[in-house]
Homo-oligomer: A and B are copies of this chain.
Amino acid sequence: MPDQLPPMAPLASRWRKLAETTCREKSERLTPARLAVYAELLACTNPVSAYELIALLESRQNRKIAPLTVYRQLDFLMRIGLVHRLQSTHAYMVCSHPDHVHESQFLLCSACGSVDEVEANGLEKLLTQIADEHGFKSDNVVVEVKGLCIDCAKQEQA
């Protein structure tokens, strides 16, 4: 266990505004606890598991936090589109372009753990088409590509 984390620095205004706007639009409440979870995720370079996130929050706030509480806040943040959950790794990350509704596709690097959220319109269209061909009424699509990110791929070559 590292030293206790310092209190979270104020959230960069871009993100704070985004959270506020999103909540206002959807008539949802942006509570301090929810904002804290969002801020903590923003401070993570890579996706983190729920329990890693709990540990970070506990260290930051110097108190115990029940998993359920954080899971609920994560569910909330996902519901309003500020956070994504990776199915393959059970990890959570902030949405990198939450300014518009979108299906997300992820490139997960198995070497450094970084995850790139990409948007590919053609992909959505194609997936819809495939579903249609099977009479399937698509609701939600999970696309997660595992492999090596550009940096790790270069390093491997060397």
Task: Write the chain B residue with the least CB distance to A136.
Answer: B107
- In the assembled complex, which residues on chain B have CB atoms less than 8 Å from the CB atom of A153? 135-137
User: Are A150's CB and B123's CB within 8 A?
Assistant: no
User: Are A141's CB and B144's CB within 8 A?
Assistant: yes
A147 in contact (CB, < 8 A): yes
What range describes how many residues of A lie at the interface?
20 to 34
A residues lining the B interface (CB < 8 Å): 87-88, 105, 107, 109-110, 116, 118, 120, 122-123, 126-127, 130-131, 134-150, 153
Work out how many copies of this chain go into the complex.
2
Which of A88, A137, A138, A147 gathers the greatest number of chain B CB atoms within 10 Å?
Answer: A137
User: Are B110's CB and A135's CB within 8 A?
Assistant: no
User: Are B123's CB and A127's CB within 8 A?
Assistant: yes
User: Are A149's CB and B127's CB within 8 A?
Assistant: no
User: Are A118's CB and B142's CB within 8 A?
Assistant: no
Q: Which of B105, B118, B130 makes the CB contact (< 8 A) with A118?
A: B130
User: Are A118's CB and B134's CB within 8 A?
Assistant: yes
User: Are A145's CB and B141's CB within 8 A?
Assistant: yes
User: Are A140's CB and B134's CB within 8 A?
Assistant: no
Task: Write the chain B residue with the least CB distance to A140.
Answer: B146
- In the assembled complex, which residues on chain B have CB atoms less than 8 Å from the CB atom of A127? 123, 143, 145
A-B CB contact pairs (8 Å), 13 listed: A87-B144, A110-B139, A123-B123, A123-B130, A136-B147, A137-B147, A138-B147, A140-B145, A140-B147, A141-B144, A142-B142, A142-B144, A142-B145
